[in-house]
Structure 1
Amino acid sequence: MKIRYLMLHAYGMGGTIRTVINQANAMVKAGHDVEIVSVVRRRGKPQFAIHPSVRLSTLVDQREGRQADSLRRKAWRRVRGKMVPRGEFAADYFTERVEKAVMDYVAGLTDGILVTTRPALNLISARRAGKGVIRVAQEHMNLNAYPETIRREIGRYYDRFDAVAVLTRTNQLEYQELLPKSKIVSIPNAVHKADQRHSRQDNPIVVAAGRLVPQKGFDLLIPAFAQVVAEHPEWRLRIFGTGPRQAQLSAKIDELGMQDHIALMGRTERLDEELAASSVYVLSSRFEGLPMVMIEAMTHALPIVAFDCPTGPRDVLTDGVDGILVPPRDADALAVALREVVSDRRRRLEMGAAAAAAAHAYAPDVVMPMWENLFTELLHGEQVNA
């Protein structure tokens, strides 16, 4: 099979980027012809390992000249601006040059499977992809996390896809209600490796990871962990990631006097080692699609403490068995649950073992055949109808 993955920025960091690259790597290992197409390029090399047999190409190289692109953005928004609607979280990437490059690329395809990986790209594919192309939209976020402008366009155009792939059964029901005539399939993202080194529960360290943006709720986690420190001063919180809220989060840490207990660690290429060396993973997100770093933490036998946010945590965790779910955005409840697990090593070991077992449902050898089966079904359907 010829499979093309169209991504916004294959050279960046983030859960979606990592999981799509993992999928491309697995498909090429299975003998398929695979290409990753990055809409933009802002770094010299990818941050995640790409199999040498996966072709990597770029539509718009922005390592130089981004300023000129940005100066044209307002004019483009007035003249066009309809293909990528307001409210798309990555709308600022889509200058005139970028949006036109994506439209021209998908319109020029004549064969194979095109997998697009976020609403902006999905909508362009739905409206512009050439005949003969099998179109698959990947959705990495729950439907209700999008503003009305996006949901309206999804309802208007997604029925043009051969399949829409979502991450959880909850997501599937949401999308099926909006798109009753469309093929909606639930396929989770796969971890890059299921058999990882397990935590020994020796270090008083809680880990969180993600972009430093409001979605991830680190502004709620920091005061919650301050309550933990009041009773367990030996424990530390390490938050991995970068983003626009770094200054505000640093100020909150200083305000609470938590400089010796909470650290913003920045980006790391050693997250697996950091997870194995910690004892608890905490998810403080306001909303998620499928929280992959949380599942990767489970492969290291870490118990999870998470907000029961829409969607993802409840689709993965069994409350009280491999993690603890608390009401969304309730920092006090998060603090109570964290105190509960940090104070009981035996329970952490039991929950961690259950978490590692549950994480095997997201192993590549479990998930990737689902994609192969879907692609094969779609291709055979095309042949029958030809």
Structure 2
Amino acid sequence: MKVVFLLHNAYGVGGTIRTTLNLAAALADRHHVTVVSLQRHRETPRFTLDPRVTLVPLVDLRPESADAADPLLAEPARAFPSAEGRHRQYSRLHDARAAACLRDCDADVIIGTRPGLNVYLARYGPRGALRIAQEHLRHDAHSKRLRGQLAPHYRKLDALVTTTEADAAVYRERMALPGVRVLAVPNMVPAPDVQPSDGTAKVVAAAGRLVPGKRFDLLVQAFATVAEQHPDWRLRIYGGGTQKEPLQDLIDELGLGGNVELAGVRSPIEAEFARASIAASASDAESFGMTLVEAMRCGVPVVSTDCPLGPAEIITDGHDGRLVPRGDAPALAKALIELIEDPGARRAMGAAALESARRYDPAPIAARHERLFAELRTARRKRAVRQAPKRAVRRARKLAGRVLRRLRPAR
């Protein structure tokens, strides 16, 4: 079977890129897999690409490329939805390349990985292929305007796959998609090539984009309480983004320079989690929570806000981590302090986290996708059988109409 993924930029860094390349590699055990990157900005991808997976970039944004001089690159995209967050990064050249690529595609299955690419898939994808939209963001993270633009196109697809059961339920309730299978399949997170944490390092680790929604400011505020009671513990925050300077200002204002460090981007991140004893997340919302699973795969318990939608499906409170109310710095600090002060519980939760994270092994997640492909093929065949008599009647009526017109005497 030929499987194609549509990815915004396979040469960048991000959770969607990482999980797509992981899934592509897992499916490559049994299928011919291609990743179509709508654009590229560098010579080679930052993440390791399985050699069995073919990478096809469509638009080369490097200054020296021929595409950089193409006048279509300067014209705004028309097919890519205008309310999509990446719209300004798309052009008529992207529209044209995506259309040509999909119309010539002989894949059995094509999977889009963000809303705008799912629209490309609905508009240009060959009808003979299974067309599957993945949603790596929450339904409620999309504006009302974007949801209105997506719905007519999503109705043309075979399936919509979210990363959590909670988000799938929201789509079923709020976006009418008759005939489209809506289901959840979590991201896969392979076992890292590092030794699990032994739970003795006096380090709390956190990772993610330094943006407002991740609420690293809340985590820093909570850690001020932790540092008062346990000044020998450290918080290391990994990632880059627009909130770096405000976060550093907050760290300085709270006098936490010796306790909290903005440690920059690390890829892969697992080695840093393995050097910690606790991981933390203070997000207001998570469509899934890749870093939570990555920490758990390193034998590290996670203290996370119980935000929509992913953490509660990943963490069992009190067993392999802790869930605390969203936006509650004192509750976050209390949970961290309890684990700091109870090494036995910390190590037990770390062992439980390591075990429960096996749910996200590549093999079972890839198998769920393969079952979906088979089920969608079967559903198509059944629809074709049910619709065959109606199509035969329509063809007969058209044929009879042509015959009658020929027999009708000329006036």
Q: Distance in 2 between matches of 1:98 and 1:9?
A: 12
Q: Residue 28 of structure 2: SS of its match in structure 1?
A: helix
For 1:154, which of 128, 150, 156 is the aligned residue? Answer: 150
The alpha carbon displacement at 1:259 in A equals 1.8
2:6 maps to a residue whose letter is L
The alpha carbon displacement at 1:138 in A equals 0.6
Equivalent residue number for residue 373 of structure 1: 371
Q: Distance in 2 between matches of 1:130 and 1:48?
A: 30
The alpha carbon displacement at 1:366 in A equals 1.7
Provide the TM-score with structure 2 as the length reference.
Answer: 0.86
Tell me, yes or no, if the aligned pair for 1:241 and 1:267 is still in contact at 8 Å: yes
Equivalent residue number for residue 188 of structure 2: 190
Equivalent residue number for residue 118 of structure 1: 114
The alpha carbon displacement at 1:14 in A equals 1.1
Tell me, yes or no, if the aligned pair for 2:196 and 2:274 is still in contact at 8 Å: yes
The alpha carbon displacement at 1:65 in A equals 6.4
Q: Distance in 1 between matches of 2:315 and 2:69?
A: 42
Correspondence list, 1:5-20, <5 A: 5-20=5-20
The alpha carbon displacement at 1:127 in A equals 2.1
Deviations 1:198-223 (A, max 9, x none): 21111111111111122222122111
Tell me, yes or no, if the aligned pair for 1:288 and 1:311 is still in contact at 8 Å: yes
Equivalent residue number for residue 172 of structure 1: 168
Tell me, yes or no, if the aligned pair for 2:72 and 2:93 is still in contact at 8 Å: no
Equivalent residue number for residue 402 of structure 2: none
Correspondence list, 1:281-320, <5 A: 281-320=279-318
Q: Which moved more, 1:370-379 or 1:97-106?
A: 97-106
1:154 maps to a residue whose letter is L
Equivalent residue number for residue 85 of structure 1: 82
The alpha carbon displacement at 1:275 in A equals 1.1
CA 1:243/1:43 → structure 2, altered by over 3 Å: closer, same or farther? farther
The alpha carbon displacement at 1:292 in A equals 1.2
The alpha carbon displacement at 1:76 in A equals 4.0
CA 1:81/1:332 → structure 2, altered by over 3 Å: closer, same or farther? farther
Equivalent residue number for residue 33 of structure 2: 34
CA 1:270/1:139 → structure 2, altered by over 3 Å: closer, same or farther? closer
Asked whether 1:56 is paired with 2:55, we answer: yes
Provide the TM-score with structure 1 as the length reference.
Answer: 0.92
Using CA pairs under 8 Å that are at least 6 residues apart, name the structure with larger relative contact order, 1 or 2.
1
Equivalent residue number for residue 25 of structure 1: 25
Deviations 1:338-372 (A, max 9, x none): 12222211111111122112111111122110011
The alpha carbon displacement at 1:376 in A equals 2.5
Q: Residue 259 of structure 1: SS of its match in structure 2?
A: coil
Q: Distance in 2 between matches of 1:153 and 1:216?
A: 27
Tell me, yes or no, if the aligned pair for 2:80 and 2:87 is still in contact at 8 Å: no
Equivalent residue number for residue 135 of structure 1: 131
Query: Gaps spanning 5+ residues in structure 1: where?
Result: none
The alpha carbon displacement at 1:196 in A equals 5.7
Q: Residue 281 of structure 1: SS of its match in structure 2?
A: strand
Q: Residue 205 of structure 2: SS of its match in structure 1?
A: strand
Tell me, yes or no, if the aligned pair for 1:155 and 1:179 is still in contact at 8 Å: yes
Q: Residue 63 of structure 1: SS of its match in structure 2?
A: coil
Q: Distance in 1 between matches of 2:86 and 2:203?
A: 33
1:14 maps to a residue whose letter is G
Count how many residue pairs are aligned between Structure 1 and Structure 2.
381
Equivalent residue number for residue 43 of structure 2: 44
Q: Residue 366 of structure 2: SS of its match in structure 1?
A: helix
Query: Gaps spanning 5+ residues in structure 2: where?
Result: 386-411
CA 1:73/1:329 → structure 2, altered by over 3 Å: closer, same or farther? farther
The alpha carbon displacement at 1:313 in A equals 0.2
Q: Residue 160 of structure 1: SS of its match in structure 2?
A: coil
Q: Distance in 2 between matches of 1:250 and 1:356?
A: 32
The alpha carbon displacement at 1:273 in A equals 1.6
Q: Distance in 1 between matches of 2:35 and 2:252?
A: 42
The percentage of counterpart residues that share the same residue type is 36
1:83 maps to a residue whose letter is F
Q: Residue 148 of structure 2: SS of its match in structure 1?
A: helix
The alpha carbon displacement at 1:194 in A equals 6.9
Equivalent residue number for residue 333 of structure 1: 331
Equivalent residue number for residue 271 of structure 1: 269
Deviations 1:159-178 (A, max 9, x none): 21111111111111111122
For 2:141, which of 118, 128, 145 is the aligned residue? Answer: 145
The alpha carbon displacement at 1:121 in A equals 0.6
Q: Give the aligned CA root-mean-square deviation in angstroms.
A: 2.4
Q: Which moved more, 1:313-322 or 1:194-203?
A: 194-203
The alpha carbon displacement at 1:156 in A equals 2.7
The alpha carbon displacement at 1:226 in A equals 1.7
CA 1:70/1:13 → structure 2, altered by over 3 Å: closer, same or farther? farther
Q: Residue 204 of structure 2: SS of its match in structure 1?
A: strand
CA 1:73/1:145 → structure 2, altered by over 3 Å: closer, same or farther? farther
The alpha carbon displacement at 1:128 in A equals 2.4
Equivalent residue number for residue 4 of structure 1: 4
Deviations 1:11-67 (A, max 9, x none): 1111111110000001112x211001111111221121111111011011112269x
Q: Distance in 1 between matches of 2:74 and 2:269?
A: 41
For 1:227, which of 225, 234, 245 is the aligned residue? Answer: 225
CA 1:278/1:100 → structure 2, altered by over 3 Å: closer, same or farther? same
Q: Distance in 2 between matches of 1:211 and 1:70?
A: 32
Correspondence list, 1:183-222, <5 A: 183-193=181-191, 197-222=195-220
Q: Distance in 1 between matches of 2:13 and 2:368?
A: 25
2:81 maps to a residue whose letter is V
2:20 maps to a residue whose letter is V
CA 1:196/1:85 → structure 2, altered by over 3 Å: closer, same or farther? same
The alpha carbon displacement at 1:197 in A equals 2.5
Equivalent residue number for residue 388 of structure 2: none
